[in-house]
């Protein structure tokens, strides 16, 4: 998004993160926001906002680690701010669709994995920290390494990522 904080980019009069927040809040007990800049803007949502605890840019895994280190529940669901059309049953479908023994599950739709949309047990925090300390950064590799499982979803539209100004423009005025 040309250097802009993607979560704060406007779609149909609201920042992208607020679209995701509106879909997730009815599905979970509490929402926290991982952000490494513009904390005050995100705090306007009323959610707890925190930065990565792992130094150096480690991508989505660093935000996941910070969340797993601070949550009080056993499970956390993760969603990226650039998926404003998420399924309203994301959490329940991940929970019901994961392998019984798996400590992680992620969205798969139309043969494509969406690892940033995941359900992860907080007990994986030490393994994730070790993974990052080794210099590894691939989210999908980590989820598979810890025995996670993909959960199939039918609604491809729910997992559209808005990654460019062109993507954003194509959805202005829709939904």
Can you say which residues are annotated as belonging to the binding site? 6, 52, 82
Quick check: 11 and 17 in contact, CB under 8 A? no
Structure token digits, residue 103: 């400590």
Q: Which residues, 6 or more positions from 82, have their beta carbon under 8 angstroms from its beta carbon?
A: 6, 7, 16, 161, 162, 163
DSSP state of 84: T
- Structure tokens belonging to residue 124: 């994986």
Decide if 87 contacts 151 (C-beta within 8 A). no
Structure tokens at 147: 């025995």
Annotated binding site for GTP: 6, 52, 82
Give the integer Cα–Cα distance in Å for 29 and 130: 29
Annotated binding site for Mg(2+): 82
- Tokens of residue 38, six digits: 């513009």
């Amino acid at each position: 998004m040309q250097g802009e904080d993607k979560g704060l980019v406007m779609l149909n009069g609201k920042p992208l993160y607020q679209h995701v927040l509106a879909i997730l809040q009815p599905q979970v007990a509490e929402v926290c926001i991982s952000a490494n800049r513009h904390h005050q803007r995100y705090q306007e949502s009323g959610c707890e906002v925190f930065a990565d605890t792992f130094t150096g840019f480690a991508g989505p895994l660093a935000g996941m680690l910070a969340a797993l280190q601070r949550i009080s529940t056993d499970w956390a669901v993760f969603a990226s701010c650039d998926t404003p059309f998420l399924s309203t049953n994301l959490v329940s479908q991940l929970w019901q669709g994961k392998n019984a023994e798996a400590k992680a599950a992620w969205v798969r739709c139309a043969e494509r994995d969406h690892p940033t949309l995941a359900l992860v047990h907080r007990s994986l925090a030490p393994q994730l920290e070790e993974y990052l300390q080794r210099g590894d950064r691939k989210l999908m590799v980590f989820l598979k390494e810890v025995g996670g499982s993909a959960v199939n979803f039918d609604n491809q539209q729910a997992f559209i990522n808005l990654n460019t100004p062109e993507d954003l423009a194509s959805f202005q005025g829709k939904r």
